[in-house]
């Protein structure tokens, strides 16, 4: 099949590449000519395991093509995915400017019946707006061409997006006629061995499914973080509580790990957008408001623990920060907890020496740009030299089993603030660190010695 994908950001590039790897002819379109030229040269603008190899292979074979000209793509393709960004507006709603601009462009240049597929995360009712935008251009042209608008939300996880795309848990398709449904069945037939995973529904329900899924996962995270705060107050261990409740098959272990808050491009934006959508229909989403409030508060917990240990004035203190990305296996720092932690600590007078395997350029050039109290080094151990404390923010694999004796020898003060609870009390009991984690009272070994 011949498929156009408009937008070569995270979703568009992964989706287009995976379609091409299944033998489809794919045309990826973007208005950024510099990005398109880099992609033609095999330069990938994002970090995603396995993606670079697939892009290079399929581009070399001719299955994956890149262009800035949507007309060129639609001359060859009758399926067109819209995969552009829907950034969060000032009021929390999803900004549909880019989606509707693409829809207008499709109406201007389409030459045959076209299946227009909303892949971007969009609120309920967007399909109608896309349809109206395309039809307005066809009317202006005096054209009687027909088209279908389909909702096909993405469920990719950064760090595992390629495998998620090639072996999806489910494929949700929102359609309003059987021809559109059959076209999508044909496109995805190699991706779903179990037909139960190919889920057809109406368009509004498909649009709602993406927001409901991400809001549910964000709710689980905030719920567990709320439990962690209560555990610290009552003297319980949230790590043991997690095991106790996760063993219940109705609950499970996924997304109930306590930490320093969720971030990324999806959860914060999608929860806010769903709250805003509900408000537009006269309903106050009370639970989702609470999910947001807990997450906002949780991002300050690590800095609060640092101040609990060293005092409110951190002038002259230096902290090693391991991890900047919002999760492992990505360079994405959108809404990352590291941003809040770094800003809280430097505002109190501290300096930070940071290390992340992939996200340091993002930090330097965008999210922590201009913060002169933050410096960056090339290895996790280099960050520790003379540090008053180690702050672990992102649970990259290389941080999971470090040499604690080496850590202790490099640091000025043996104290660890573990924002992901990956080390446990052994670092206090065996290696003699003061150890702070989420949802457990601090192990103050050094205090006891003094």
Query: Which 3-state string (H, E, C) describes 110-146?
Result: CCCCEEEEECCCCCCCHHHHHHHHHHHHHHHHCCCCC
**Which of 400, 395, 427 lies closest to 260, judged by CA?**
395
Six-digit token pair at 417?
Answer: 């603030």
CB-based contacts of 283, cutoff 8 Å, min separation 6: none
Chain length of the chain: 450
DSSP bridge pairs for 199: 172
The CA-atom distances, in angstroms, between 123 and each of 88, 174, 204, 211, 218 are 12, 13, 9, 8, 17
Q: Please tell me the distance from the alpha carbon of residue 360 to that of residue 366, in angstroms, as a whole number.
A: 10
Residue 201: what are its φ and ψ, rounded to 5°? -160, 180
Please, what sign has the CA dihedral across residues 193, 196, 202, 206? negative
Indicate which residues carry an active-site annotation: 266
Give me the sheet containing 415-418, strands edge to edge: 374-376, 351-355, 318-322, 389-392, 415-418, 434-437, 440-444
């Amino acid at each position: 099949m011949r498929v156009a994908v408009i937008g070569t950001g995270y979703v568009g590039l992964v989706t287009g590449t995976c379609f091409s790897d299944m033998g489809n002819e794919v045309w990826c379109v973007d208005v950024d000519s510099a990005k398109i030229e880099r992609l033609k040269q095999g330069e990938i603008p994002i970090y995603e395991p396995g993606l670079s190899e697939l892009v290079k292979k399929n581009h070399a074979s001719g299955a994956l093509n890149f262009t800035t000209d949507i007309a060129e793509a639609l001359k060859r393709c009758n399926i067109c995915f819209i995969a552009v960004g829907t950034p969060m507006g000032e009021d929390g709603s999803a900004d549909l400017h880019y989606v509707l601009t693409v829809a207008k462009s499709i109406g201007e240049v389409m030459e045959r019946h076209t299946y227009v597929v909303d892949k971007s995360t969009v609120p309920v009712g967007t399909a109608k707006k896309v349809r109206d935008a395309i039809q307005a251009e066809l009317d202006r042209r005096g054209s009687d061409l027909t088209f279908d608008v389909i909702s096909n939300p993405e469920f990719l996880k950064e760090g595992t997006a390629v495998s998620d795309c090639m072996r999806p848990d489910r494929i949700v398709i929102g359609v309003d006629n059987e021809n559109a449904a059959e076209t999508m069945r044909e496109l995805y037939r190699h991706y779903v061995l179990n037909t139960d995973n190919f889920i057809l529904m109406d368009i509004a329900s498909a649009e709602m499914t993406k927001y409901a899924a991400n809001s549910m996962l964000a709710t689980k995270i905030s719920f567990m973080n709320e439990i962690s705060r209560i555990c610290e107050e009552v003297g319980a261990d949230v790590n043991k509580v997690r095991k106790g409740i996760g063993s219940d098959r109705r609950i499970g272990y996924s997304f109930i790990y306590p930490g320093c808050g969720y971030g990324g491009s999806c959860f914060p934006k999608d929860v806010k957008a769903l709250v805003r959508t509900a408000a537009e229909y006269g309903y106050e989403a009370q639970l989702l408001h609470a999910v947001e409030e807990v997450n906002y508060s949780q991002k300050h917990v690590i800095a609060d623990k640092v101040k609990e240990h060293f005092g409110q004035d951190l002038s002259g203190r230096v902290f090693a920060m391991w991890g900047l990305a919002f999760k492992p296996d990505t360079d994405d720092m959108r809404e990352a907890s590291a941003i809040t932690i770094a800003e809280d600590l430097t505002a109190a007078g501290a300096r930070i020496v940071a290390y992340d395997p992939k996200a340091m350029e993002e930090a330097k050039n965008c999210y922590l740009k201009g913060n002169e109290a933050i410096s960056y080094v090339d290895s996790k151990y280099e960050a520790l030299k003379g540090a008053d404390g180690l702050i672990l923010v992102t649970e990259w694999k290389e941080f999971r089993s470090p040499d604690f004796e080496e850590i202790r020898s490099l640091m000025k003060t043996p104290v660890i603030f573990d924002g992901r609870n990956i080390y446990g009390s052994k670092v206090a009991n065996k290696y003699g660190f003061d150890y702070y984690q989420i949802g457990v009272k601090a192990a103050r070994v050094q205090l006891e010695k003094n």
